[in-house]
Structure 1
Amino acid sequence: MALVYMGWHVSGAQYNPAVTLALVVRGDCPGSRAAGFIGAQCLGAAAAALAVAHITGSGFVLMPGADTGAGTALAVEVLFTFLLMIVIFNVAVTPRTAGNSFYGLAIGFTITGAAFAGGPLSGGAFNPAVGIMPGLVEWVIAGRTEVPFWLYLVGPLIGAFLAVPLFMMQEAAAMRGAAGNGGSSDAGD
């Protein structure tokens, strides 16, 4: 949570390539900025993986649970990345919540809940940089090849991209509702 608040004024707290690409698709982040963000996200994840390997003497690689099939792990990555993206859109992107002070709590608790609920099943990346870069570092350093790179690329991207049209429909409905309520989008008015 603290990192969301800390990084907000720098990059919009974009630490996740799936989030960044969904923001690009929706038009909330220029592609030219996104390339730099994604590069920094991947470098940060690789640096963290190298730090863990140096400190502990062994690498850290996300893997699905031993009894979790690929389809289940993929579904978990899609679902929780989708939920994360919907939360981000609703607390940090929509003009209706602009200037709020709860965005970091909402995003942080979503990631925490996803990690607790989905982590044992899929490994709990919900972020391509976090899922891929530690495995890539371990592959380069130790030759470890069983890391399911595809899972941590495909799952989060599908989840984030599925959130885009849903949020756009939600925003369109809110705007229609605001027009019908004399400009207020609050159903309690």
Structure 2
Amino acid sequence: MTAVDTTTVTFDTRSTAAQRPTARGAHLPATARRYLVEAIGTLVLVFTVGASVRSGSILAPLAIGAVLMAMIYAGGHISGAHYNPAVTVAALARGRIDAREAIGYWIAQFAGGLVGAGAVSAVVPAGETAALGLSGHALMGAVVAELLFTFVLCYVVLNVATSKDHPDNSFYGLAIGFTVAAGAVAVGGVSGAAFNPAVVLGGAALGLFTLPMLPVYFAAQIVAGVAAGMAFRALNPDDK
């Protein structure tokens, strides 16, 4: 989720690291490393979401926010630690990455989310959790909740992790993790508090969301990501 050119994403120290001499031996290309970090981070996030929900933990919002924070600190210096296709959309709209890199991130994130869902299925019993399937007024409320908090999440990411006014700060992970935790507490009972298309896909694979919910949630979250990117650009005209 920092900011340099189209070859770098958030919290970026890659441009300098790539210039340092490396030890002899085989190394993954920089692009492959970024995609792998995105897949790992999304896997861990979806696993935590699925395991927390399936186990019925009342501390699920705290666990999800905490693991996201930890994975952001772990992978931010390599990939920018999006772990969320909506955040990648926001970074694309903000002009931080290009379309080709965004597509690679999306593939890695969705793949990681599905593997995370598979790990949940292998480890945590299904229990009696019913799939979230909404219609009418309830569906409209869920879409608004997802749109609002996905926007808030992406907006926070862009401001704390890509703004030129916050270079190399130490609080970006806390801000992002607590945003997700707050959203989970506020609207978890309304929409399931996904705020992330990879989480929605993983949740559908686990039976937490019905399949008809996927396009509806995807649309709301992608619109929120684009809106956050455009809002950042409008409010920070000198921050390219």
TM bucket, shorter chain: 0.7 to 0.9
Cα distance in structure 2, aligned partners of 1:64 and 1:126 = 16
Q: 1:71 aligns with which of 140, 152, 155?
A: 140
Question: Would you say 1:125 and 2:190 are equivalent positions?
Answer: no
Match of 1:162 in 2: 227
Match of 1:187 in 2: none
- How high is the TM-score relative to the length of structure 1? 0.80
CA displacement at 1:134 relative to structure 2: 3.0
| Matched length | 169
Aligned residue runs from structure 1 range 116-155, under 5 A? 116-135=185-204, 137-138=205-206, 147-155=212-220
CA displacement at 1:50 relative to structure 2: 0.8
Amino acid at match of 1:52: V
Aligned residue runs from structure 1 range 13-32, under 5 A? 13-32=81-100
Check 1:64–1:81 CA distance in 2 against 1; reply closer, same or farther (3 A cut). Answer: farther
SS at match of 2:160: helix
Q: 1:52 aligns with which of 79, 98, 120?
A: 120
Structure in which a larger fraction of residues adopt helix: 1
Post-superposition CA distance 1:87-125 (Å, at most 9, x none): 111101111111111100111110110111111100111
Q: Is the 2:113–2:198 contact (alpha carbons within 8 Å) kept by the matching residues of 1?
A: yes
Q: Is the 1:73–1:151 contact (alpha carbons within 8 Å) kept by the matching residues of 2?
A: no
Cα distance in structure 2, aligned partners of 1:122 and 1:70 = 8
Q: Is the 2:142–2:191 contact (alpha carbons within 8 Å) kept by the matching residues of 1?
A: yes
Cα distance in structure 2, aligned partners of 1:148 and 1:9 = 34
Cα distance in structure 1, aligned partners of 2:77 and 2:113 = 20
**% identical aligned pairs:** 37
Q: Is the 1:62–1:131 contact (alpha carbons within 8 Å) kept by the matching residues of 2?
A: no
Q: Where do 5+ consecutive residues of structure 2 fail to align?
A: 1-68
Check 1:146–1:16 CA distance in 2 against 1; reply closer, same or farther (3 A cut). Answer: closer
SS at match of 1:69: helix
Q: Where do 5+ consecutive residues of structure 1 fail to align?
A: 177-189
